[in-house]
Amino acid sequence: MSTSFSSCNARTGEVLGTLTASTPADIDAVCTAAAAAFALWQAGSGAQRASLLRALAAGLEAGRETLVAMADQETALGPVRLNGELDRTAFQLRRFADIAERGVPFEYTDDPAVAGAPPAGHPAMQRWLLPLGPVAMYAASNFPFAFSVLGGDTAAALVAGCSVVIKAHPGHPQLSQQTYALIRQVLAAQNLPAGLVGMVQGASNEVGVQLVRHPAIAAAAFTGSTRGGAALAAEAAARPRPIPFYGELGSINPVIALPAELKTKGADLATTLAGSIALGCGQFCTNPGVIVLLDATQADAKAVNDAFVQQLGLALTGQNPHAMLTQGMRRNFDAGVAHWGEAGAAFVVHELAAAGRPPRPVLAQVSADAFIAKAALREEVFGPGSLVVRAASVAQALQVLQAAGGSLTVTVWGAQAESADVQALVRGAMAIAGRVLFAGVPTGVAVTAAQQHGGPWPSSTRPESTSVGDAALARFLRPVSLQDAPAWLLARQGRPL
């Protein structure tokens, strides 16, 4: 295992510092401490959990100036975006604090005894929710606050009553260390064990593998690439005692645009879509990577769609993406775009960036037949690019969705009036996506009660779970039925021992 790795300036590649990777002994010590802390934390009250999360939110805000400057150096995401993301992260922490205070993690079902013989008669039962245990949390690169050290997975696990071991992302290691130092200060101030939130780090895959293999770890949460997530999910399943692995992986987020909608709103929709494709240099898990156009559903459909592609191309040329998170991501983006060309895609916009400059937006188009036949056209290309797929009919558009596979989102523009075709498209969208939009663009994931951020493979490993929103804490709880429980136990009202 490599013993050191570097923090780099995302814009220039300059090395900002060298860090020491966690050793197997380090990982063991952190996981052992998390197991010890869990034994105490799971029995804590909702008020105690809320107090910790609110203090962490306040600590983030108090350290804003230092944290945002450090994040900007390591990610090139810019202070406006990063300040907004820090605000979202603090909001997320406080929202989960409110959930803890309302007693949601301790909700239980009371099923009083019914006299008589079964099946109608039954003993007294209560169904409780128990925290799973120490959670391994794999931080994401593209959201250095909201999906990183103090992101939604950490908040959800803590409010569920679990301890957490964070695998820091090597794309922003100095920010991760600074954020973790903040956490340790808050834990000490609240007289909580330091092991309640631990952190390991390193650029080697071995650090993440050793973490998910550790016998103290009871569940894992991951946001990242399909390849990386699939490897860790396999490790979680191969343990002597397999554990749940909640991975949010790759997604191409199809946008289906019906010709009637484009005919009346095409120019505005092109501008909006171009901004979404280039937002954050395309480094969003909900980036609209595929645009499905239907060419034969009305007399002038093809002409309307041709005009929209031109409008979108012009809107994209006016976008100026910033540098990508890492040089490796930039290489992968360029390689993905090249694979489109090798698979027969025709480029609508494909400007070559000057040496050392950020990538330029890319737009290409293919037939639905080609998209369905060639796997290379269906792979996520992480960056400011999108692929237009021209379908001949609603039936073929549905085949495109099926070929795309599981997706975090599908957007359907033009579904306001009910018809058999619209019903079929919406049904097809719901079959593959965790979230279906009927207006706007998929970038931007609200932290709210009804949010579903997850979907069928490859968008996530567990399509029934969400990594954003109030329901995210359910991943780290499991049900237990208590039958004919004594009064002292029932008096705890769902709070674990």
Half-sphere exposure of 360 (CA within 13 A, CB side): 16
420 contacts 427 by C-beta, under 8 angstroms: no
Work out the number of other CB atoms within 10 angstroms of the CB of residue 17.
12
179 contacts 210 by C-beta, under 8 angstroms: no
pLDDT attached to residue 274: 97
Residue given tokens 């991951």 in the structure block: 222
Using DSSP's 3-state secondary structure scheme, residue 479 falls into strand
> What distance in Å separates the CA atoms of residue 306 and residue 312, rounded to the nearest whole number?
10
Residue-level pLDDT, tens digit, the chain, 497 residues: 568 999 999 999 999 999 999 999 999 999 999 999 999 999 999 999 999 999 999 999 999 999 999 999 999 999 999 999 999 999 999 999 999 999 999 999 999 999 999 999 999 999 999 999 999 999 999 999 999 999 999 999 999 999 999 999 999 999 999 999 999 999 999 999 999 999 999 999 999 999 999 999 999 999 999 999 999 999 999 999 999 999 999 999 999 999 999 999 999 999 999 999 999 999 999 999 999 999 987 889 999 999 999 999 999 999 999 999 999 999 999 999 999 999 999 999 999 898 889 999 999 999 999 999 999 999 999 999 999 999 999 999 999 999 999 999 999 999 999 999 999 999 999 999 999 999 999 999 999 999 999 999 999 999 999 999 999 999 999 999 999 999 999 999 999 99
pTM of the model: 0.95
pLDDT attached to residue 1: 58
> What distance in Å separates the CA atoms of residue 136 and residue 28, rounded to the nearest whole number?
12
pLDDT attached to residue 290: 98
Cα of 322 vs its chain's centroid, Å: 21
9 contacts 73 by C-beta, under 8 angstroms: yes
pLDDT attached to residue 2: 66
Half-sphere exposure of 65 (CA within 13 A, CB side): 1
Q: What domains can you pick out in the chain, each with its CATH number?
A: 4-249+460-490 (3.40.605.10), 254-437 (3.40.309.10)
> What distance in Å separates the CA atoms of residue 333 and residue 340, rounded to the nearest whole number?
11
pLDDT attached to residue 491: 95
473 contacts 99 by C-beta, under 8 angstroms: yes
**122: DSSP letter:** B
Give the residue numbers annotated as catalytic, written as ranges: 248, 285
Residue burial 217-246, b: 16+ Cβ < 10 Å; e: rest: bbbbbbbbbbebbbebbebbeeeeeebbbb
Q: Which residue spans within 315-456 are E strands per DSSP? A: 346-350, 362-367, 385-391, 407-413, 433-437
> What distance in Å separates the CA atoms of residue 275 and residue 280, rounded to the nearest whole number?
9
CA distances to 130, 209, 225, 285 from 200, rounded to whole Å, are 26, 12, 19, 24
Cis amide leading into 361 (omega within 30): no
